[in-house]
């Protein structure tokens, strides 16, 4: 029997490229589609000599044609950091809507299993804490984050419509803050921003008073969760993330400590609609996928720091 074929949209991105690695390690052939808007060749160039890997520079908001059979489609294409989707608001809306439609169309044509990379942003600035999958969220559709949040909410609705109407075999992963090697130092997120600032000895820019919380998941744990969801038979959304929550100001202090930096913390204006709290309820993932994160923050941050040091050499 031939190898299974997986298409990964956004395969040159942070999460997408780790997924390409994982799927190849699982014995699949991977076709990576990316228009390199926020993805990078350096994330995938180690795969270029691999006969089971193919990269096609492509904008998935256009009709997608793949000649071969396709067993799995993982739709990970999208700007995903607040700075990126503020810089590319229309592209973000298009890839979440038109891109999801095209990727679902390909899945229908090829009778593939389809997995959508959704996000904790569907919960917006949540009024329920921690967030479980049955919470519908608190999103400002016309705020600056609306371009990402609403695109992903539309993508979930579209995925469920293809599941219900076309009987497509679909999965929805709601991904919470994830970090690790291959994040862009300049993607504007708190974690790379703080690490970069600490390494340069600059002040760490905490937005607001830093009491807002996030819960950070190491990328290997996340990829394990995605893979388990892919091979499960679960059609309802599943939260994937680490439930260990920390305030942003404590997180900044942690980065200063881990980098042995002399940097100080400065406080800047809080961006509009910045969620005040965020922590995944991962009961469903535990029960259905028998999954939970294994890497604690200190361990994961050390690996990530090492990666950033290497890339800056």
- Known catalytic residues are 148
Q: Calculate the alpha carbon distances from 259 to 24, 177, 266, 298 in Å.
A: 34, 21, 17, 11
The smaller minimum CB distance to ligand UDP, of residues 81 and 159, is found at 81
Token pair listed for 303: 């690996």
Cβ of residue 191: shortest distance to ligand UDP, in angstroms?
A: 6
Q: Which of these segments, 41-49, 85-93, 202-210, 298-306, binds ligand UDP (CB under 6 A)?
A: 202-210
Calculate ∠ Cα 139-142-146, nearest 5°: 55
Which token pair is 152?
């992903």
Near ligand UDP by CB under 6 A, which window of 21-29, 185-193, 253-261, 298-306?
Answer: 185-193
Q: Per this entry, what is the length of the chain?
A: 313
Least gap, CB of 113 to ligand UDP (angstroms):
28
Using CB under 6 A, pick the residue from 102, 171, 214, 297 that binds ligand UDP: 214
**Residue for token pair 């009778």:** 111
Q: What φ, ψ does residue 125 adopt, rounded to 5°? A: -90, 95
Sites for ligand UDP among residues 89-148 (CB under 6 A): none
Contact 60, 104 (CB under 8 A): no
54 or 177: CB nearest ligand UDP: 177
Question: Nearer to ligand UDP by C-beta: 44 or 240?
Answer: 240
Near ligand UDP by CB under 6 A: residue from 50, 205, 232, 247: 205
For position 274 contacting ligand UDP by CB under 6 A, the verdict is yes
Q: Are strands 217-218 and 238-240 parallel, antiparallel or unpaired?
A: unpaired
Q: Which is nearer to ligand UDP, 246 or 288 (CB)?
A: 246
Binding test (CB under 6 A) with ligand UDP, winner from 193, 223, 238, 277: 193
Q: Identify any residues that bridge with 113 across adjacent strands, giving them in sequence order.
A: 72, 169
Residue 51 φ/ψ, nearest 5 degrees: -70, -15
Return d(Cα 245, Cα 190) in angstroms, integer.
14
Burial of 189 (0-12, 13-18, 19+ CB in 10 A): buried
- Which residue, 82 or 237, has its beta carbon nearer to ligand UDP? 82
In the set 58, 154, 196, 207, which binds ligand UDP (CB under 6 A)?
207
Number of C-beta neighbours around residue 271 at 10 A: 14
Give yes or no for residue 177 binding ligand UDP (CB under 6 A).
yes
43 lines the binding site for ligand UDP (CB under 6 A):
no
Interacting residues with ligand UDP (CB under 6 A): 81-82, 177, 188-190, 193, 205-207, 212, 214, 248, 271, 274
């Amino acid at each position: 029997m031939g190898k299974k074929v997986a298409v990964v949209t956004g395969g040159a991105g942070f999460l997408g490229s780790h997924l390409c690695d994982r799927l190849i390690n699982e014995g699949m052939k991977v076709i990576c589609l990316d228009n390199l808007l926020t993805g990078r060749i350096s994330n995938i160039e180690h795969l270029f000599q691999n006969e089971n890997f193919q990269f096609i520079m492509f904008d998935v908001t256009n009709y997608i044609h793949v000649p071969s059979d396709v067993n799995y489609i993982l739709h990970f294409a999208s700007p995903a950091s607040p700075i990126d989707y503020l810089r590319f608001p229309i592209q973000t809306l298009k890839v979440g809507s038109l891109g999801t439609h095209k990727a679902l169309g390909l899945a229908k044509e090829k009778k593939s299993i389809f997995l959508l990379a959704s996000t904790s942003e569907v919960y917006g600035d949540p009024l329920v804490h921690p967030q479980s999958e049955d919470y519908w969220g608190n999103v400002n559709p016309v705020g600056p984050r609306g371009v990402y949040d609403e695109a992903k909410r539309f993508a979930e609705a579209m995925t469920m419509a293809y599941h219900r109407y076309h009987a497509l075999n679909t999965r929805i992963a709601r991904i919470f803050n994830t970090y690790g090697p291959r994040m862009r130092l300049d993607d504007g997120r708190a974690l790379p921003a703080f690490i970069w600032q600490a390494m340069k000895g600059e002040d760490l820019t905490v937005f607001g008073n830093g009491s807002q919380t996030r819960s950070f998941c190491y990328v290997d744990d996340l990829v394990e969760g995605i893979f388990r969801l892919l091979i499960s038979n679960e059609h309802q959304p599943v939260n994937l993330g680490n439930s260990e929550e920390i305030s942003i100001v404590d997180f900044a202090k942690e980065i200063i400590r881990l980098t042995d930096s002399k940097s100080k913390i400065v406080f800047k204006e809080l961006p509009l609609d910045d969620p005040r709290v965020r922590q995944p309820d991962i009961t469903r993932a535990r029960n259905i996928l028998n999954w939970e994160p294994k890497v604690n923050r200190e361990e994961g941050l050390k690996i990530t720091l090492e990666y950033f040091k290497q890339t800056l050499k």
